[in-house]
Amino acid sequence: DAGVIQSPRHEVTEMGQEVTLRCKPISGHNSLFWYRQTMMRGLELLIYFNNNVPIDDSGMPEDRFSAKMPNASFSTLKIQPSEPRDSAVYFCASSLQAGGPHEQYFGPGTRLTVT
Amino acid sequence: SQQGEEDPQALSIQEGENATMNCSYKTSINNLQWYRQNSGRGLVHLILIRSNEREKHSGRLRVTLDTSKKSSSLLITASRAADTASYFCATDGAGNMLTFGGGTRLMVKP
């Protein structure tokens, strides 16, 4: 298996633009997590899905952030409009749900810079 | 808010020495996990210890858990330059959620 795949790896955009980050979880995993990592705030959980259904989105900072998981093999995190303070590394992770506890497998991350 | 807090925030040692990192948490847990992050990479799972376990080994890694003190430690023996990374503890929550600490940055000098 190729592991968790994220795209793009790097994104530079101007304030006000829409940004879409993509994630393909490991095949067979039914939990998916979106995290944001910054020096100031560390690693923060934004939202997670079980069986494609959003379970907890309390970590989503504002209405500008939205996430979808249309099927078991694809998820997106969208920021619209983007702001400079959204600059961070965004990670997607996946794991098994049933029969836990289970480790999470992280993707390589998307480094977002908003100017 | 962070459930786990690592201590120290940064640690610098010579190759061959042992490295010990500590993690404290606030609420009851079912299990605690340790992850490693190399610079510019995603986190990689190292080891999981359940709340009814006190110690666990994996290669050069030794993890202890003291639920009465709400603390865990990660010991890396005979460190190597390749062990240079950030190390995070993570505690379980509702569903499959994990809450990560702020991490310990370990530098192993050759």
Q: What is the pLDDT of residues B64-76, one digit of tens each?
A: 999 999 999 999 9
Lowest mean pLDDT among A7-11, A96-100, A107-111: A96-100
**Bridge partners of A53?**
A50
Residue of chain A whose Cα is closest to the Cα of B96: A97
Confidence of residue B94 (pLDDT cuts 50, 70, 90): low
Contacts of A91 in chain B (CB under 8 A): 42-43
Joined tokens for residue A95: 């794991």
Asked whether the predicted pLDDT for residue B40 surpasses 80, the reply is: yes
| pLDDT score recorded for residue B1 | 44
> Pick from A45, A100, A103: which is nearest to B45 by CB?
A103
Q: How far is B53 from chain A (nearest CA, A)?
A: 14
A45–B99 C-beta distance less than 8 A: yes
Residue B95 has a pLDDT of 65
What's the Rg (C-alpha) of chain B? 13
What mean pLDDT is predicted for residues A31-49? 94
Q: Mind giving me the DSSP string for B28-66?
A: --SEEEEEEE-TTS-EEEEEEEETT-SEEEETTEEEEEE
pLDDT-based confidence at residue B28 (cuts at 50, 70, 90): confident
The predicted model gives B26-38 an average pLDDT of 93
On chain B, the residues whose CB falls within 8 A of the CB of A55 are 95
How does DSSP classify residue B82? G
Q: Which of A45, A56, A91 minimises the CB distance to B42?
A: A91
Q: Of A42, A43, A26, whose CA–CA distance to A34 is shortest? A: A43
Q: Are A84 and A115 in contact (CB under 8 A)?
A: yes
What phi, psi does A90 have (nearest 5°)? -105, 125
Structure tokens at A47: 């939202």
- Mean residue pLDDT of chain A comes to 94
| pLDDT reading at B108 higher than 50 | yes
